[in-house]
Amino acid sequence: MKLTAQQQQALADRLFEAVKAGQGIDPPSNTIDYDFEDAYQVRRRLVDHLIATGGRPKGHKIGFTSEAMQKMYGMTGPDFGILLDNMFTPENQPVRVTHLSNTRAEPEIAFELARPLEGAGLTVPDVLAATACLRAAVEVIDSRVGAMKARANDSLADNAGAGWIILGKTALRPDQVNFAGLTLTMDVDGHHQAALATDVMGHPAAPLAFLAGKLAELRGLGGHLKAGDIVITGAPVRSVEVKSGSRLHADFGSLGTIDLTFI
Total domain count, the chain: 1
pLDDT in tens, 143-200: 999 877 899 999 999 999 999 999 999 999 999 999 999 999 999 999 999 999 999 9
- The CATH number assigned to the domain holding 174 equals 3.90.850.10
Dihedral (Cα; 163, 102, 11, 232), 10-degree rounding: 30
Residues 250 and 138: beta-carbon distance below 8 Å: yes
Give the per-residue pLDDT at 223.
93
- Residue 174 — φ and ψ, nearest 5°? -55, -35
What gap in Å lies between CA 54 and CA 187, rounded to an integer? Answer: 33
- pLDDT per position in the chain (263 positions), as tens? 999 999 999 999 999 999 999 999 999 999 999 999 999 999 999 999 999 999 999 999 999 999 999 998 988 889 999 999 999 999 999 999 999 999 999 999 999 999 999 899 999 999 999 999 999 999 999 999 987 789 999 999 999 999 999 999 999 999 999 999 999 999 999 999 999 999 999 999 999 999 999 999 999 899 999 999 999 999 999 999 999 999 999 999 999 999 999 99
For the chain, the 3-state helix, strand and coil shares in percent, each to the nearest 5, are: 35, 30, 35
What gap in Å lies between CA 191 and CA 188, rounded to an integer? Answer: 5
pTM above 0.85, yes or no: yes
Domain span holding position 190: 5-261
Q: Which of 90, 213, 81, 98 is nearest to 159 (CA)?
A: 81
